[in-house]
Structure 1
Amino acid sequence: MSITRRTLIATAASLALAMGLQPAAAQTPGGDLVMISTQTPRHLNPTVQSGIATAVPGTQIFASPLRMDENWQPQPYLAKSWEWADDGLSLTLHLVEGARFHDGEPITSADVAFSIETIKANHPFKTMFAPVESIETPDDLTAVIRLSQPHPALILALSGALCPIIPEHVYGDGQDVASHPANAAPVGSGPFKLESFAPGEQITLVKNEDFFIEGRPYLDRIIIRLVRDTSAALLSMEAGDADIFPFLTTSQGISRLTDADGIEVTDQGYAAVGPINWLAFNMRSGPLAEKKVRQAIGYAIDRNFVTKALMRGVSAPQRSPIVESSPFFNADIPAYDFDLDKANALLDEAGFPMQGDQRFALTVDYIPGNDEQQRNVAEYLRSALGKVGIGIEVRTSADFPTWAQRVAAGDFEMTMDSVFNWGDPVIGVHRTYLTDNIRPVIWSNTQGYSNPKVDEILAAAAVELDEAKRKALYDEFQMIVGEDLPVYWINTLPYHTAYDARLGNVPVSIWGPMQSMDEVYWTEAR
């Protein structure tokens, strides 16, 4: 549904705060916020892990240099101001004074440099800080990011969950950051501190009384309940046991909570996410190494049936690695509209004739916790691909970390997945298709796809500041990957946030719940 009146009021209050005005009179200080999440994080350090599960708590625990508003405009956060050099090859950040980590140590430019270097070395979004050549720290409150080439997505990359500032005095002890013990008990710089983390059960965050923005956060605690079953999550919201349910995608859930008393539902707050539901192919060996097999699978899947029947019309078909709402989308990309005759012909041409009632068999995995967008589509593939002689075994994972570890390790043949564009193709799209990003990290190029021409095009698009020229490069890229089909793109995810109508300043920036919630408040005592 469209943004609600309650959300419009919250947005207005947020803008007033940004302008230095006082909160609305209805604000009631303190109180707890109980959030529902159907994804369980492996740990809480967003410098080495992407995704909703880590980003939502991570952006409460760690502050970033900048944050973005609902109009895609950067706003001060740890950096009070910034300026580009005339040649576009350096960005200078001026940090706020007096900001401290949760253990009382001051946040300095050295921590900013350490954090960006850590992200560059470890994060699955390898292209995000690839042009960063060095980071100079002339004083404790100044960081100069020097680039080897122009970087049109740098400002965006310094916001939200993409650039958490972590303490060098904790993580710079020589241990591997990806497996550092502090990932489960982080010392951050954000508005909330970690009180407890029970994996698979609950994350409890408490107010940081020494937060560098005076008077914030307004809430006393954020309690994130990790619930695998969407039905249980809906019941919690309806019963008033939970206050906010972000990243809601199920048609039943959206409808139920829209009709529930005292609950508002909005689709605002996900503009930069660009979420795509897709079927990924492990191209390293077997039938899926053959392009014609992947194309045949594309023709054997009916996107319209998936979005209209399985997803009850809440999702829209998606036929490209770039979301169709993006100015970089190419409408000429091959669509692979449902055609069983083409599918069978391609499989014959690929050298996989029918033997009895089957050509070959494959397994398909899916992310647990979202039946409508994931499991139901995986189950549909059993019957859809069976019609062209491909036997399908649907393989389940006990939880999200189990699925993620399998896919990162290449232990899959096909997998359903939900992957974000993250605002700019440099950040969220390149990572899936670059040869040098084939590595055992979830949401990198886990398909093993390699095309030198694609590498060349994406390298050029990453530094092109002229939008028309970037568009032409991304048009060419989409036509190539549309032919190679390392991924079959199915639909966009219809993210919504359901929340208690008494909440103010519900997050509706472009990062939504994946950005600091220091401005969220209750309008009535709790």
Structure 2
Amino acid sequence: MKLVPCLLGAAAIAVGALYTPPVWADGGTLVIVSSQVPRHLNGAVQSGIATAVPSTQIFASPLRYDENWEPQPYLAESWEVAEDGLSVTLNLVKGATFHDGEPITSEDVAFSIMTTKENHPFKSMFAPVEGVDTPDAQTAVIRLSQPHPALLLSLSPALAPVLPKHIYGDGQDVASHPRNSTDVVGSGPFMLQEFTAGEAIVLKKNPNFFIDGRPKLDEILIRIVKDPSALLISMQNGDADMYPFMAGSQEIRRLQEADHLTITDQGYAAVGPINWLAFNTKSEKLSDVRVRQAISYAIDREFITKALHRGVSTVQRGPIIESSPFFEADIETYDVDLDKAQALMAEAGFADGMDLTIDYIPGPKEQQQSVAEYMKSQLGKIGINVTVRAAPDFPTWAGRVGGHDFEMTMDVVFNWGDPVIGVHRTYLCDNIRQGVIWSNTQSYCNDQVDQLLNDAAIELDQDKRKAMYSEFQQIIAQDVPIYFINATPYHTAYDKRLQNAPTGIWGAMHPMDRVEWSE
């Protein structure tokens, strides 16, 4: 059993710090390291890895999913989908309470689903939800305006945390609520003990968790380590126990040499992470599709995946992850052609070139900064002078991109299991939302695309959905609001003594109530 004390304050969480283990009653501490910096911990109003990993420990959700994509009971002990597909009834577990001791009722579930619908950047996720009826304290009936093939998956921990209405229903703006970061109260297996922004999150065992005998661990400590080398050293030295969402080839190969670690690519099946170059289509320079097409013809994704990523990444050619049954391979892929790129620039009136900026997410250098710097070199060949614009941290980058204050940016965006959840949000006209990251930050709008996505969102026939998504992908390939590069090669490194490591479809964005140390 791994024994690590609760560490508070910046000095105590320094990389490489030596721990003096106390005497624990049972489960010990799991130390997770990450370069992701969460702005807050409320997954109902914020998407992304940084928030989802701690949020899914703090907040429980109606359902959870196993490694075979099958829904399992969580706060809902059972559920029933109506024959017409227009309602889903959730039967809640009895006796479940929030961390402050207040009972969880159907009113909390109704409040949470409607709050998520109103505030979450994934607008399509709960778009068909008209309301949630609460005939009694243990029953919540989700009413839909149309069938919703992705609804049950949308009730997963990373997407549908159940919030305490008695806290968040106080009239304050939920998106900026002070309890998103301080004194956060959920009903998940772990309770927030400390959140030091940009440094650490300390979670302690929920002694009144509604699943008997869980969680197994006493504590989870999430350390934010911005220096990639220091992060790897902490894993190699045993100062940290788990590193999820690891994407660099050097990181993966270096930690594979550590005898005490297991390295796996399992745990990302529902994530569908795509690394891409996004264009601000409202930019005067990039509003012309010929410029975006020219840039696409200038980039060599094969060079990126084979040389820059050392063969760890796989090519991604469209908006739906290539491992999905909905991916359409018969689309324009923009294989590198500098002559065609220069001709398109001339047609668009930029024969003399132009100046552009490119942003990137700080942290995963190989997938982001290195590719951005390659873009600078490659686009110079067609007369585009690129300035690579760094951000000191993730919130700064997110503020720029969410605020549409960019021309081009590298980005990593997830499919989230079903296109309705993770794909639609990037392309729907009504999801162009100022200040919201991972919405339609490209300001792309095409009525035909809207119609196809809206039809696919309610179609229960798999073959018909596939045909709709095929046409959608062909249009996106022509309009090029985004140039798709590669599937992000996420891996998890963890101590071999860990049992039940999070390798299901949501990986570390899943409650870790079963994770424990071997004796």
Q: What is the TM-score normalised by the length of structure 2? A: 0.94
Distance in 1, Cα, partners of 2:131 & 2:115? 12
Give the aligned residue type for 2:200.
Answer: Q
Distance in 2, Cα, partners of 1:232 & 1:368? 15
2:299 maps to which residue? 301
1:365 maps to which residue? 359
Distance in 1, Cα, partners of 2:67 & 2:227? 31
1:480 maps to which residue? 475
2:432 maps to which residue? 438
1:350 maps to which residue? 348
Give the aligned residue type for 2:468.
Answer: L
Match of 1:456 among 441, 451, 458: 451
Superposed CA offset, 1:243-274 (max 9, x none): 00000111011111111111111110100000
Give the aligned residue type for 1:419.
Answer: V
Give the aligned residue type for 1:413.
Answer: E
Q: Is 1:107 aligned to 2:104, yes or no?
A: yes
Equivalent residue of 2:191, what SS? strand
Distance in 2, Cα, partners of 1:407 & 1:189? 33
2:169 maps to which residue? 172
1:286 maps to which residue? 284
More contact order relative to length (CA 8 Å, sep ≥ 6): 1
Q: Is 1:416 aligned to 2:413, yes or no?
A: no
Match of 2:509 among 509, 514, 517: 514
1:137 maps to which residue? 134
The question of whether the paired residues in 2 share the 8 Å contact of 1:507 and 1:520 is answered with yes
The question of whether the paired residues in 2 share the 8 Å contact of 1:60 and 1:190 is answered with yes
Distance in 1, Cα, partners of 2:47 & 2:484? 20
Distance in 2, Cα, partners of 1:156 & 1:258? 33
Superposed CA offset, 1:145-183 (max 9, x none): 010000000000001210000111000000000100000
2:386 maps to which residue? 392
Alignment of 1:325-340 (within 5 A): 325-340=323-338
Structure with more helix by fraction: 1
Distance in 2, Cα, partners of 1:60 & 1:205? 8
The aligned length equals 493
Give the aligned residue type for 2:357.
Answer: T
2:421 maps to which residue? 427
Equivalent residue of 2:392, what SS? coil
Give the aligned residue type for 1:450.
Answer: C
Distance in 2, Cα, partners of 1:229 & 1:338? 34
Distance in 1, Cα, partners of 2:107 & 2:82? 21
Equivalent residue of 1:161, what SS? coil
1:86 Cα deviation from its structure 2 partner = 1.5
Equivalent residue of 2:382, what SS? coil
Q: Is 1:265 aligned to 2:263, yes or no?
A: yes
Q: Is 1:69 aligned to 2:63, yes or no?
A: no
The question of whether the paired residues in 1 share the 8 Å contact of 2:59 and 2:157 is answered with no
Q: Is 1:187 aligned to 2:193, yes or no?
A: no
What are the ranges of 5 or more consecutive residues in structure 2 without an aligned counterpart? 1-24
The question of whether the paired residues in 1 share the 8 Å contact of 2:360 and 2:389 is answered with yes
The question of whether the paired residues in 1 share the 8 Å contact of 2:342 and 2:351 is answered with no
Give the aligned residue type for 2:508.
Answer: P
2:91 maps to which residue? 94
Distance in 2, Cα, partners of 1:347 & 1:289? 13
What are the ranges of 5 or more consecutive residues in structure 1 without an aligned counterpart? 1-27
Give the aligned residue type for 2:382.
Answer: V
Equivalent residue of 1:196, what SS? strand
Most deviating of 229-238 and 43-52: 229-238
2:463 maps to which residue? 468
Distance in 2, Cα, partners of 1:182 & 1:161? 18
Superposed CA offset, 1:54-98 (max 9, x none): 000000000010000000000000000001111111000000011
1:237 maps to which residue? 235
Equivalent residue of 2:476, what SS? helix
Distance in 2, Cα, partners of 1:160 & 1:482? 33
Distance in 2, Cα, partners of 1:507 & 1:407? 31
Give the aligned residue type for 1:39.
Answer: Q
Distance in 2, Cα, partners of 1:183 & 1:397? 24
Match of 2:370 among 376, 396, 400: 376
1:197 maps to which residue? 195
Distance in 2, Cα, partners of 1:253 & 1:352? 41
Q: Is 1:447 aligned to 2:423, yes or no?
A: no
Give the aligned residue type for 1:437.
Answer: N
Give the aligned residue type for 1:514.
Answer: M
Q: What is the TM-score normalised by the length of structure 1? A: 0.93
1:285 Cα deviation from its structure 2 partner = 2.5
- Percent of residue pairs bearing the same amino acid type: 68
Superposed CA offset, 1:446-489 (max 9, x none): 11000000001001000000000000000000000110000111
Match of 1:254 among 247, 252, 255: 252
Q: Is 1:494 aligned to 2:489, yes or no?
A: yes
Equivalent residue of 2:327, what SS? coil
**Following superposition, which runs of at least 4 residues in structure 1 exceed 4 angstroms of deviation?**
none
Distance in 1, Cα, partners of 2:329 & 2:228? 34
2:9 maps to which residue? none
The question of whether the paired residues in 2 share the 8 Å contact of 1:201 and 1:225 is answered with yes
Distance in 1, Cα, partners of 2:445 & 2:514? 44
Equivalent residue of 1:382, what SS? helix
1:29 Cα deviation from its structure 2 partner = 3.7
2:29 maps to which residue? 32
Superposed CA offset, 1:382-403 (max 9, x none): 1000000000000011100111
Superposed CA offset, 1:114-136 (max 9, x none): 00001100100000000001100
Distance in 2, Cα, partners of 1:281 & 1:47? 27
Superposed CA offset, 1:202-233 (max 9, x none): 00000000100011000000000001122111
Distance in 2, Cα, partners of 1:377 & 1:29? 46
The question of whether the paired residues in 2 share the 8 Å contact of 1:37 and 1:224 is answered with yes
The question of whether the paired residues in 2 share the 8 Å contact of 1:29 and 1:521 is answered with no
Equivalent residue of 1:401, what SS? helix
Give the aligned residue type for 1:85.
Answer: A
CA-atom RMSD in angstroms = 0.7
Most deviating of 284-293 and 56-65: 284-293
The question of whether the paired residues in 2 share the 8 Å contact of 1:281 and 1:487 is answered with yes
The question of whether the paired residues in 2 share the 8 Å contact of 1:43 and 1:54 is answered with yes
Distance in 1, Cα, partners of 2:350 & 2:257? 51
Distance in 2, Cα, partners of 1:160 & 1:170? 19
The question of whether the paired residues in 2 share the 8 Å contact of 1:59 and 1:190 is answered with yes
The question of whether the paired residues in 2 share the 8 Å contact of 1:29 and 1:522 is answered with no
Give the aligned residue type for 2:329.
Answer: A
